[in-house]
Structure 1
């Protein structure tokens, strides 16, 4: 092999196939949520969960399940550590921790808001999730506003995550990005 070629097989020890699948499934679901969220009508008193709003609820319910699976998988299947400097290791841990926190908080706040509106949140349109705030709850309605603001924080964290992956690939020229590629 020439010295300028990358041997991707040596990176297989980074993340296993399940972790990679769950990562990219979350990416797909988050992308769908942002597109749906930006294009769906505004939610006001008396709004019904139809059309794009129903899709947003359904994708959100799926996202909650996948994120929980991803966290459980990550806690029980640690990847081989990346070869990072202490500074980048700390920044990576903080960024990943904030990403996971936002990936849990944003859908939970949306779920609480849906519950306060009396809307049913169902996994794959079939399995109903329990209501997590009382119908008519002012706190549940306020969580909808926080859900919207935190979605922008999540968007910023995702942009930072992508920028860091590209920085590792094109500036540092290390294997960090390849560890999560299929």
Structure 2
């Protein structure tokens, strides 16, 4: 089943969710590691190339994810009213942090007027280059939003485990396997 139902996520949403999660973790780890590289390190140029290429890929995947979310059913939220509000706010913050992190990364990379090569397949042009101290300001925004994103994603994972092990509902499992018919609490 590709599409979501009122009780379950479909395979498209599940795959996009887990690809996004892996990319966020991988990009954060790579970005953090890149801070330790010296000018003569063999990864000094290659690390940022991978980081930018996967960052643009994540941006495209996030836009597809948001479009898919708007044209598809959303499974009924589980848990208490407080948990449902928390989930809605948390998901909104995750999407906002994703977009701000990626846009600020774009602004860092294009501040000098050069575009971003994506896996050497195509180039994203530098469209905004005239913001005073663009690279420094965007760099600070990028770091803090990426850090907040990873922290919020960890909280998101902990909440899913809480639903699974404490509430014993299907919040976690419905993001692991697409099911056609599923009750609200199995």
For this structure pair, what is the TM-score category when the shorter chain's length is used for normalisation?
0.7 to 0.9
TM-score (normalised: structure 2): 0.82
| Mapping of residues 28-177 of structure 1, within 5 Å | 28-41=22-35, 50-134=45-129, 137-177=132-172
The answer to whether residue 6 in structure 2 is matched with residue 15 in structure 1 is no
CA distance in 1, matches of 2:49, 2:57: 12
Report the 3-state secondary structure (helix = DSSP H, G, I; strand = E; otherwise coil) of the residue aligned with 1:134.
coil
CA distance in 2, matches of 1:91, 1:14: 19
Q: Greater helix share, 1 or 2?
A: 1
CA distance in 2, matches of 1:30, 1:61: 12
Maintained 8 Å contact 1:62/1:124: no
TM-score (normalised: structure 1): 0.83
CA distance in 1, matches of 2:7, 2:155: 24
Maintained 8 Å contact 1:117/1:135: no
Q: Say if 1:139 and 1:21 are closer, same or farther in 2 by CA, change over 3 A.
A: same
Maintained 8 Å contact 1:118/1:135: no
Deviation at 1:137? Answer: 4.3
How many positions carry a matched residue from both structures?
169
Q: Say if 1:135 and 1:114 are closer, same or farther in 2 by CA, change over 3 A.
A: farther
Maintained 8 Å contact 1:14/1:82: no
Superimposed CA distance per residue, residues 99-125 of structure 1 (whole angstroms, 9 cap, x where no aligned partner): 011111101101011110334223443
Higher RCO by CA contacts (8 Å cutoff, separation 6 or greater):
2
Q: What do you get for the CA RMSD once the two structures are aligned?
A: 2.4
Superimposed CA distance per residue, residues 135-180 of structure 1 (whole angstroms, 9 cap, x where no aligned partner): 6841343111110111111011011101100110111111100111
Q: Unpaired segments of 5 or more residues in structure 1?
A: 1-10, 44-48
Q: Which stretches of structure 1, 4 residues or longer, exceed 4 Å deviation after superposition?
A: none
CA distance in 1, matches of 2:141, 2:131: 17
Q: Say if 1:97 and 1:12 are closer, same or farther in 2 by CA, change over 3 A.
A: closer
Report the 3-state secondary structure (helix = DSSP H, G, I; strand = E; otherwise coil) of the residue aligned with 1:15.
coil
Q: Unpaired segments of 5 or more residues in structure 2?
A: 38-43, 178-186
